Amino acid sequence: MMNPSPLQAVEHFYDFHPISADQIFQAVAARQIAREDITQAVLSAHDQDHYGGTDAVDRLLGLAAITADDHVLDVCAGMGGPARYIAWKTGCRVTGLDLTASRVAGAQALTEAARLAAQVDFVHGNALAMPFAPAQFFVSSAKKPMPTSPTKASSSPSAPGC
Ligand SMILES: C[S@@+](CC[C@H](N)C(=O)[O-])C[C@H]1O[C@@H](n2cnc3c(N)ncnc32)[C@H](O)[C@@H]1O
């Protein structure tokens, strides 16, 4: 890639990252778990691409007091691990936003496999130019965002942050 922009460099990095939806499906298959038996409980051992795993997400959930009536925005959602986990634990709706198209496709495939697509959707877009209406979400979260993503203070223009 000749002189990629910072955003192009991020996409390129994640397009070739060793952790991917395919790699997660392979890890699940290696546990002798069939595709039709995949649940978020199964995926959670593999799909949390941040420090602290689901314990960290549980701490955020406690702080934000999310209920089934809420709609959460997960910024820099990656393969959607935290987005699915939040929806699965609380019954709420979650929208994941990510810059990398291959990450969005992987997140959608994993979410369909976990049968959470009715609750969790993914949007391909840049957190620096949020493609959402003001006040669309109850709360927004960002776990291990990259340097091209906004600061905590500016990451939730349409909702109170957590
Ligand atoms: C380490 S992954 C985090 C994955 C996820 N939050 C998790 O905890 O499993 C960082 C993600 O941030 C995304 N990203 C980086 N800059 C972004 C931006 N400006 N807008 C949206 N997504 C961005 C990347 O595409 C990548 O998928």
In a domain, 111, yes or no: yes
Say if ligand 1 is within 6 A of residue 50 CB: yes
Is 18 a domain residue?
A: yes
What is the model's pTM?
0.88
Tell me, using a 6 A CB cutoff, whether residue 73 lines ligand 1. Answer: no
**Beta pairing class for 71-75 and 120-124:** unpaired
Least confident of 4-8, 11-15, 22-26, 27-31: 4-8
Span from the CA of 133 to the centroid of ligand 1 (angstroms): 21
Q: Which of 110, 113, 120 is nearest to 73 (CA)?
A: 120
Domains of the chain: total: 1
Residue 104, ligand 1, Cβ within 6 A? no
- pLDDT at 141 > cutoff 80: no
Mean pLDDT of the chain: 87
- Ligand 1: distance of its center to the CA of 28 in Å? 23
Domain that holds residue 77: 6-154
Query: What CATH code is carried by the domain that includes residue 147?
Result: 3.40.50.150
- End-to-end CA, the chain: 37
